[in-house]
Amino acid sequence: MKRQRNTKIVATLGPSSSTYDQIRALHEAGADVFRLNMSHGSHEEIAERHRIIRQVEADLDSPITILADLQGPKLRVGTFANGAEMLEQGASFRLDLDETDGTDKRVRLPHPEIFAALKPGSMLLVNDGKIRLKVEKCGPDYADCIVEIGGEISNRKGVNVPDVVLPLAALSEKDRKDLAFVCDLGVDWLALSFVQRAEDVAEARLLARGRAAIVAKIEKPAALKTFDDILAASDGIMVARGDLGVELPVHSVPPVQKRLIRACRAAAKPVIVATQMLESMIESPMPTRAEVSDVATAIYEGADAVMLSAESAAGKYPVEAVTTMNNVAISVESDPNYASILEASRHVERSTVADGIVLAARNLAETADVKAICCFTHSGTTAALVSRERPRLPILALTPLVSTARRLSLYWGVTCATTGEVDRFKMAVVNAARAARQLGFATPKDSIIVTAGVPFNQSGTTNILRVAPCEERLIFSIEPG
């Protein structure tokens, strides 16, 4: 499906978006990627949503990306005898392993690994940071704290530990079962929650066995300290601003977002900006001006995708939320300043033939009278490198593998189409010209740029570029023989 924008839209599915008609309407409104949140819904419900997405894909002949978001280890307090208690600022409060119900003096924290990592002075944030506890004294089975910020604490509220690297695996037992299940279903990307180190990504990759690409969610300060290693180990990044904004001072999140987006762009790996982008549209058909500005900022920074969570999963106006995001992206990308802003933030170290080919394609796109950059790709590498350059022309990725087309649909500016296997560059050009005409990127009177790797069907061999006419009778004369 040809879009009028380059930035992709990720829509989370849920109770508000689980039927064929709803999912099709979301895709037609602008959703390029559907997120299956493994924190909610049974395997049967997830499988049904996956089936519907693939049905919509087939009916519209439009590759759709499916992202399964694993829950990750959830740290929560136990239960209270009264259901909830009010903690006063300056009061003492203990967390321990005692299984009895909590009081206003203590509650169970059933995670001995947290106690093993805590030190005096460590901070514990409860209920998305609404309650702040400072550790005064701790041992292997307890932590005595002072309430720095008070409030109501109730059953099973979440706990964040921002200033400690926890000895926790990024994959819980539930995550392992969910990962195996969604990989068997055939999802395209896995989002890994609460990543702290590159080893977390390596574990998920080992279990996925190449069946899905890995997105590391950056939502802990520990991940920022090892981000370069995490980026190198991952196929993509999600700037998960929810927990990140809890564990970091909220004013530090925008600079972090900008830094991570630039690093991902330089590495030719897709980056998703997520959480609370159009939060008010859960209840309102119109977003706030601040939310629109937030979405626009991510697009100006060159993010590959912006994401809707509860807005599309459980909100009252899921299609309107996608439509709003689509319209914001079109408006921003129509701004005459947009291209120059992207160019100013483009920092790429080039060292390979493929780097030179895609740079040449980008430069040609800005100087020659051509209508699209067509990448014939098997693994997706060529299209990913062209996307990194953020060219001013559409990028059309042609691949014989539907799995590659689906994964590439997350990348900035990439429209995907499947084509037959080719073993000669001439046929790659023929297929590219035909697809460019059929999808409305070019007319028979136009020319296109074609890039590919020879020999074909080998990853990382991008080494050829040609400006070719789109008139089919001329294509067969561009190479002798």
Among candidates 228, 458, 451, which has minimal Cα distance to 358? 451
Q: In this structure, are 139 and 205 located in the same domain?
A: no
Q: In this structure, are 416 and 398 located in the same domain?
A: yes
Quick check: is 76 catalytic?
yes
pTM higher than the cut 0.85: yes
Choice among 8, 24, 35, 157 that is catalytic: 35
Domain total for the chain? 3
Last residue of a domain, one of 333, 361, 386: 333
Q: In this structure, are 148 and 286 located in the same domain?
A: no
Q: In this structure, are 65 and 93 located in the same domain?
A: no
Q: In this structure, are 17 and 43 located in the same domain?
A: yes
Is residue 405 within 8 A of residue 454, CB to CB? The reply is: no
Last residue of a domain, one of 160, 190, 211: 160
Q: In this structure, are 15 and 49 located in the same domain?
A: yes
Contacts of 116 (CB under 8 A, 6+ apart): 140, 167
CATH number at residue 89: 2.40.33.10
The whole-angstrom separation of Cα 468 and Cα 478 is 8
Choice among 157, 217, 269, 371 that is catalytic: 217
Quick check: is 176 catalytic?
no
Residue 270: inside a domain, yes or no? yes
Q: In this structure, are 314 and 200 located in the same domain?
A: yes
Span 372-411, pLDDT tens digits: 999 988 889 889 999 999 999 999 999 999 999 999 999 9
pLDDT tens across the length of the chain (481 residues): 789 999 999 999 999 999 999 999 999 999 999 999 999 989 999 999 999 999 999 999 999 999 999 998 888 999 999 999 999 999 999 999 999 999 999 999 998 988 999 999 999 999 888 999 999 999 999 999 999 999 999 999 989 988 888 888 779 999 999 999 999 999 999 999 989 999 999 999 999 999 999 999 999 888 999 999 999 999 999 999 988 988 888 899 999 999 999 999 999 999 999 999 999 999 999 999 999 999 999 999 999 999 999 999 999 999 999 999 999 999 999 999 999 999 888 877 777 888 889 989 999 988 889 999 999 888 898 899 999 999 999 999 999 999 999 999 999 999 999 988 887 888 888 899 999 999 999 999 999 999 988 777 666 678 889 999 987 654 443 343 3
Quick check: is 35 catalytic?
yes
The residue segments making up the domain with residue 154 are 84-160
The whole-angstrom separation of Cα 104 and Cα 291 is 38
Residue 455 CA neighbour count, 13 Å, CB half: 2
Residue 404: inside a domain, yes or no? yes
Q: Which residue has the tokens 């190479």?
A: 479
Choice among 12, 65, 275, 323 that is catalytic: 275
The whole-angstrom separation of Cα 208 and Cα 31 is 25
Total residues found in the chain within this entry? 481
Choice among 54, 76, 176, 197 that is catalytic: 76
Quick check: is 197 catalytic?
no
Residue 328: inside a domain, yes or no? yes
